[in-house]
Structure 1
Amino acid sequence: MPESSAPLTEFIRAYEQATNSHDITQLVPLIASGAVYRFSDGSLRGREAIISDIAETFAAIRDEIYPIDDLEWITHRDDDAICRYRFAGPGTIDGQPRSGRGRGTNVLVNHAGTWQMLQEHLSA
């Protein structure tokens, strides 16, 4: 195991910041090409499908904030890591304020010294 989970936490904070920017180009390099994202209402496979879905979400939910709280590293090694966390955040859908919350589990992989999201599982 690496001595510290600090670089992994930095990656998660960069992912959180990129998500909250609503700039899809910031997320692209953070997601592995063969990534799988699982949600309560279905799954997506591959970076292109994931990015497309996230772009649609950004268009549908205005002013969304996606805070990652209670981050816990289940395991972390030199080439992969697994974390879990809670999320809850406000946004605006069709002009109406909304809020969502749930739990996330992420699998990260290290490709030539660069961490990327390999799997994200979000549930309410």
Structure 2
Amino acid sequence: MHPEDAMKFYQARLALHDFNALLPVIAEDAVFWFSDGDHKGIDAARRAFDAAWQAVENEVYTLEDLRWLAIGDSVASCIYNFHWKGMAAGEPVWGGGRGTTVLRKDAEGWKIVHEHLSPANAFKTAEA
């Protein structure tokens, strides 16, 4: 698997809203920096992802304009724009921003070791 394949896998599996489906491409020591804080390790990442999926019903998450900054034999990094939409408390909500992901190759393949999402529009409703 190439790091590009790992990111495609990640995006496709995010749509399942099942953290276990993401495990093949997330390192045990991964660090996720989201607008709600830092999430270090698999257990913390699981709680953060599950909380986001519970807060926004029928969430659709997309990555656009993905650009690879570096691809080496064991480390790769990319940047992208992200967008999400769904329903919260019966109202349509959406948001987006910019992301950075760092992947590391281990014996099992390419895995995310860091993701940093910076929201441009953290939370919007139809009334905003």
User: Could you tell me how far 1:113 is from its partner in structure 2?
Assistant: 4.7
Moved segments of 4+, more than 2 Å: none
User: Could you tell me how far 1:120 is from its partner in structure 2?
Assistant: 0.2
| Counterpart mapping for 1:5-44 below 5 A | 7-44=2-39
User: Could you tell me how far 1:89 is from its partner in structure 2?
Assistant: 2.0
Q: Any idea what SS the aligned residue of 2:46 has? A: helix
Percentage of matched positions with identical amino acids? 35
Give TM-score, length-normalised by structure 1: 0.90
User: Could you tell me how far 1:8 is from its partner in structure 2?
Assistant: 1.7
| Counterpart mapping for 1:1-124 below 5 A | 7-124=2-119
Distance 1:24 1:41 in 2: 18
User: Could you tell me how far 1:68 is from its partner in structure 2?
Assistant: 0.6
After superposition, the CA RMSD in angstroms is 1.3
Count how many residue pairs are aligned between Structure 1 and Structure 2. 119
Q: Which has the higher strand share?
A: 2
User: Could you tell me how far 1:10 is from its partner in structure 2?
Assistant: 1.5
Unaligned runs of 5+ in 2: 120-128
Q: Which has the higher helix share?
A: 1
| Partner deviation per Cα, 1:36-62 (whole Å, 9 max, x = no partner) | 011233111111110121011111111
Give TM-score, length-normalised by structure 2: 0.87
Distance 1:45 1:96 in 2: 31
